[in-house]
Amino acid sequence: MPEGADQPIDAQTFRRVVQFFKPYWLRVLLTIVAILITAGLGLINPYLLRAIIDDAIPNRDLNLLYWLVGLMIGIPIFSSLIGVGQTYLNVVIGQGVMRDLRDALYQHLQKQSLRFFTATRTGEIQSRISNDVGGVQRVVTETATSVVSNIAIAVTTVIAMWVIDWRLTLISLAMIPIFGYLTARVGMERRKIATSTQRTQADITALAEETLSVSGILLTKAFGRQSYQSQRYSEESQRLSGLQVRQHLVGRWFFMMITTFFAITPAVVYLFAGRWIIDGSDAVSIGSIVAFTTLQSRLFGPVGQLLSVQVEIQGAFALFDRIFEYLDLPVEIDDRPNAIALRPDQVRGEIRYDNVAFQYDRLPEDFEAPKSPEAMVDKVSTRKPFGLSDINFEARPGQLVALVGPSGSGKSTISMLLPRLYDVTEGSVSIDGHDVRDIKLESLGQVIGMVTQETYLFHDTIRRNIAYGKLDATQAELEAAAKAAAIHDRIMELPDGYDTVVGERGYKLSGGEKQRIAIARVVLKNPPILILDEATSALDTASERLIQSAIETLMSGRTTIAIAHRLSTILSADQILVVERGRIVEHGTHAELLSESGLYAHLFNQQFASVAR
């Protein structure tokens, strides 16, 4: 449970919530004016009722009665019309704030480094965006204005009651301070439970996300673990259900006592006022007593809601705390001040790694952990046995550099430092003499194209998946890219052609088809620098032959870093870097390395000799 979940709402959190209302200040002001008008109008009817009882009826004044009754009818109608406008403003403001909150959270998460996403469950992130933001929606859209409205009604009603009789007012309000204190205690308890509930909801969302995805269900069925996963989900669901029951029931006995007190207080008023009238010791009129009890009933509704809503607000602020935890996450990899933007047509493609070192479990020196209840350093860090050290090489424009080495040796990590998916711990990586940390991230994304072993396609049409490389691409450009990737003919065989929906992660397509669509996406992007991370590993021999010439054409005139697991890539490389345990242990051409009889020669003979023959 976050530290501070059992503490009252602090001013800083409240100020941060208020900041989201600032863009809507004019509508908020109009809402407050509407609330004050309706609160004032609500005071008139009890006085009209007193006038009817004490003046119009005893004096048999029909004209006065007509006027008073007409006003009693007209005022509520007018007040209701204002209420409709107030409700409209409430909804517009509330939904705007919710949209801004969701957008701010999503945009901030977009800035987080790959390190954060490799260490955080997707379901946890989804829960923050949907469950936590959704959980505060009622407070933002309804409760905020309800609090203002109830305070206005309560204050004006107490003043009106005091004008009628100050002694009866004190009797009516005697227990409210005690109830207010007890309500605060109940609210803090509910805030604790709300925090635990959202944690459990995040767990169950993550479990569903992992096990009901295509990959998750495939693994579950392949291992026959349907009953096991169902049991896990049932246990989490039971835990969530228990917490939600506690959250709804906490303080219910207390609120029953408040409701009972409010119900019997008018009887106490009648007792005291009645005795004063019977004893002849007080000049309180019958009309005044009726007006007072009418105002009293008008008071207890808002006071009861204020006491109850305080508990709701405590629970909502527990959700705000979770949302602000993510909004407070420092951006590990961000644009430096005065970072430059490179256009693709400006880039020659010279790449240099200079004394580069990198460790997965080490953050940059200027990375400050958030001062949130749960320090997120552990969440944004991964633990690997080693990283990279002493990485030095240079790729001239248009060269193909192949990275070769055992699995887990650091080849992919080396390639990820170039587009700043990770930042170096020491040394520098540069493009055309510019340290990549001095280049805007969006610009880096435009000049570097990546095709990875694990192809990711959106649950969308083939057209949109390819066009992700160039959002304004024409149909002719899409088809040219698809033909270059040897996938156009296959697309045209599908019933809906380019409008075929590929399914979750592209599972409606074969591995080779997905990979060729991914390559078409990069072909369409037409970047000056390429990163091919085992880009042809998912292709069968026939598909590879179809696409190899397209890749060679694509690489022509472009600097390419290729993590090579295919003989053809290795043989055509201008230089080969042999990586072992995070270091470059050999480098040279294929012929040079083969003649040295080192690690490369061993790997080549082990993996490719039979193919070469």
The whole-angstrom separation of Cα 349 and Cα 558 is 7
CB under 8 Å to 240, separation ≥6 — which residues?
A: 197, 200, 201, 204
The 10 Å Cβ neighbour count of residue 602 is: 11
Q: What integer pLDDT is reported at residue 438 of this predicted model?
A: 93
The 10 Å Cβ neighbour count of residue 349 is: 21
Are 317 and 355 within one domain?
A: no
According to the 3-state scheme, what is the secondary structure of 138-204? HHHHHHHHHHHHHHHHHHHHHHHHHHHCHHHHHHHHCCHHHHHHHHHHHHHHHHHHHHHHHHHHHHH
Instruction: Please identify every stretch of the chain with a pLDDT value under 50, giving residue numbers as ranges.
Output: 1-7, 363-385, 613
Q: Which residues of 71-82 are buried (b: 16+ CB within 10 A; e: fewer)?
A: eeeebbeebeee
The whole-angstrom separation of Cα 25 and Cα 371 is 30
The whole-angstrom separation of Cα 298 and Cα 570 is 83
Q: What integer pLDDT is reported at residue 584 of this predicted model?
A: 92
Say if residues 304 and 114 touch (Cβ distance below 8 Å). Answer: no
Please say which residue of 294, 327, 360 terminates a domain.
327
Q: Is residue 191 one of the residues assigned to a domain?
A: yes
The distance from CA 221 to its chain's CA centroid, rounded to whole angstroms, is 31
Q: Is residue 478 one of the residues assigned to a domain?
A: yes
Q: Is residue 471 one of the residues assigned to a domain?
A: yes
Q: Is residue 488 one of the residues assigned to a domain?
A: yes
User: What element of type H or E holds 610?
Assistant: helix 609-612
Say if residues 247 and 190 touch (Cβ distance below 8 Å). Answer: yes
Residue 473, both tokens: 């691409």
Are 305 and 378 within one domain?
A: no
Are 505 and 404 within one domain?
A: yes
Residue 387, both tokens: 């990283």
CB under 8 Å to 239, separation ≥6 — which residues?
A: 200
Long-range residue pairs from 52-57, CB within 8 A, at least 24 positions apart, any chain: 52/287, 53/285, 53/286, 53/287, 53/290, 54/285, 54/286, 54/287, 54/288, 55/287
Q: Is residue 2 one of the residues assigned to a domain?
A: no
- Quote the number of domains for the chain: 2
Domain that holds residue 500: 344-612
The whole-angstrom separation of Cα 36 and Cα 48 is 19
The 10 Å Cβ neighbour count of residue 141 is: 19
Are 274 and 408 within one domain?
A: no
Q: Is the pTM of this model over 0.75?
A: no
Opening angle at CA 607, ends 601 and 610, nearest 5: 100
Q: What integer pLDDT is reported at residue 273 of this predicted model?
A: 76
Are 273 and 352 within one domain?
A: no
Q: Is residue 115 one of the residues assigned to a domain?
A: yes
- Residue 339, amino acid: A
Say if residues 371 and 4 touch (Cβ distance below 8 Å). Answer: no
Please say which residue of 268, 298, 327 terminates a domain.
327
Residue for token pair 């399914």: 503
User: What element of type H or E holds 17?
Assistant: helix 11-19
CA distances to 194, 433, 486, 524 from 491, in Å: 50, 41, 10, 16
Please say which residue of 327, 357, 383 terminates a domain.
327
Are 419 and 316 within one domain?
A: no
- Residue 306, amino acid: L
Are 75 and 201 within one domain?
A: yes
Are 212 and 248 within one domain?
A: yes
Are 168 and 61 within one domain?
A: yes
Q: What integer pLDDT is reported at residue 536 of this predicted model?
A: 60
Residue 528, both tokens: 């000056």
Output the domain CATH number for residue 436.
Answer: 3.40.50.300
Largest CA distance in the chain: 122
Q: Is residue 5 one of the residues assigned to a domain?
A: no
SS3 279: helix
Q: Which residues of 557-579 are buried (b: 16+ CB within 10 A; e: fewer)?
A: ebbbbbbbbbebbbebbebbbbb
Output the domain CATH number for residue 97.
Answer: 1.20.1560.10
Cα–Cα nearest to 343, from 440, 256, 253: 440
Are 302 and 388 within one domain?
A: no
Are 392 and 248 within one domain?
A: no
Q: Is residue 439 one of the residues assigned to a domain?
A: yes
Are 318 and 352 within one domain?
A: no
Give the residue ranges of DSSP H helices in 250-381: 252-279, 286-327
